[in-house]
Amino acid sequence: MTAADGYELRLERLLERLRSLGRVAVAFSGGVDSSALLHAARSALGEGAVGVIADSPSLPRRELAEARATAARIGAELIVIATDEMEDEDYRANRGDRCYFCKSALFRAMEPWARAHGFRALAFGEILDDLQDFRPGARAAREFGVVAPLSEAGFTKEDVRRYAREAGLGVADKPASACLASRIPVGSRVTREGLARVERAEEFVRSLGFRQLRVRDHGVLARVEVAEDELAAARERLEEIRDGLLAQGYPAVVLAAYLPPSRRGIVPVKDALGVQPAS
């Protein structure tokens, strides 16, 4: 059996699983995983599949706009639901399991909407690669009975990127993203003001032409992480970056290469304050 044959079998398993759900609301972020899942669900179920995105202060406006555009390319309805995780002290405390409370808020908001509109199932874009990481959000999914058709079918990151590429979704090579709260170190409280500051800082750095980045907020210090192949360019523009982030309230800036969670176990990365970065 060739690798290609293996992919085709996984794809058929995915479509069969989706067809078995009848009607499904997909937790959608606009990233490659949830985009592949929503497109596959739409292919299997037609109007029986919709996307649902959580809107809160931790979602960058850029990501919301891009998610809307991707859903439109898929031809799927996208429901925007406001979530209330910022009202949850356990979420704001940011003790290391923040994602659990965030995803709980999403699924808690999705459930009544889905039930009221006749959707039998909730699904999210977990893939096999995610099972290797600490994912508190997956625990929330299990507690709410949310299914994971991609991982059930054996889909990897390579598979979802291939699917997105062949479907012409425009997100096949989209860099990994994460909510703005992931820029706040564990143990530091999540606030609306802090999330807004991070978003403004990232928009500034992105305006300089950097594609994949994180601005991690350590109070007066911003750790700016860019893709490894862009680190040299960032160093050349360090003064410009510092000036822009000073305007956002960061008098100190350090640069570093961004490493995805899957690589951090191989090449340990600690930030300038000795804190392991979040996703």
Asked if residue 276 belongs to a domain, the reply is no
156 and 29 assigned to the same domain: yes
CA angle 11, 14, 16 (to 5 degrees): 110
Asked if residue 251 belongs to a domain, the reply is yes
Asked if residue 269 belongs to a domain, the reply is no
103 sits in which H/E element? helix 98-116
Q: How many domains does the chain have?
A: 2
CATH number of the domain encompassing residue 41: 3.40.50.620
113 close to 52: Cβ distance less than 8 angstroms: yes
156 and 128 assigned to the same domain: yes
Q: Which of 102, 137, 167 is the last residue of a domain?
A: 167
Token pair in block for residue 266: 């191989």
Range of the domain at 216: 180-264
Asked if residue 49 belongs to a domain, the reply is yes
Please report the pLDDT score of residue 5 as a whole number. Answer: 59
Instruction: Give the E-state strand segments of the chain in sequence order.
Output: 24-27, 49-55, 78-82, 121-123, 213-218, 221-226, 252-257
| Token pair 């704001």: residue | 92
pTM given for the model: 0.89
120 and 255 assigned to the same domain: no
For the chain, the farthest-separated pair of C-alpha atoms sits apart, in whole angstroms, at 57
- How big is the chain, counted in residues? 279
Asked if residue 273 belongs to a domain, the reply is no
**DSSP structural state of residue 175:** P
194 close to 242: Cβ distance less than 8 angstroms: no
Please report the pLDDT score of residue 203 as a whole number. Answer: 97
51 and 143 assigned to the same domain: yes
111-134 confidence digits (pLDDT tens): 999 999 999 899 999 999 998 877
39 and 143 assigned to the same domain: yes
Per-residue pLDDT of the chain (279 residues; tens, 9 = 90+): 344 559 999 999 999 999 999 999 999 999 999 999 999 999 999 999 999 999 999 999 999 999 999 999 999 999 999 999 999 999 999 999 999 999 999 999 999 999 999 998 999 999 999 988 778 889 999 999 999 999 999 999 999 999 999 999 999 999 888 899 999 999 999 999 999 999 999 999 999 999 899 999 999 999 999 999 999 999 999 999 999 999 999 999 999 999 876 555 433 333 333 333 334
Asked if residue 40 belongs to a domain, the reply is yes
CATH number of the domain encompassing residue 221: 3.30.300
Asked if residue 270 belongs to a domain, the reply is no
Asked if residue 175 belongs to a domain, the reply is no
Phi/psi of residue 225, each to 5°?
-110, 130
Q: Which of 119, 144, 167 is the last residue of a domain?
A: 167
CA distance 243 to 44: 50
Q: Which of 132, 167, 202 is the last residue of a domain?
A: 167
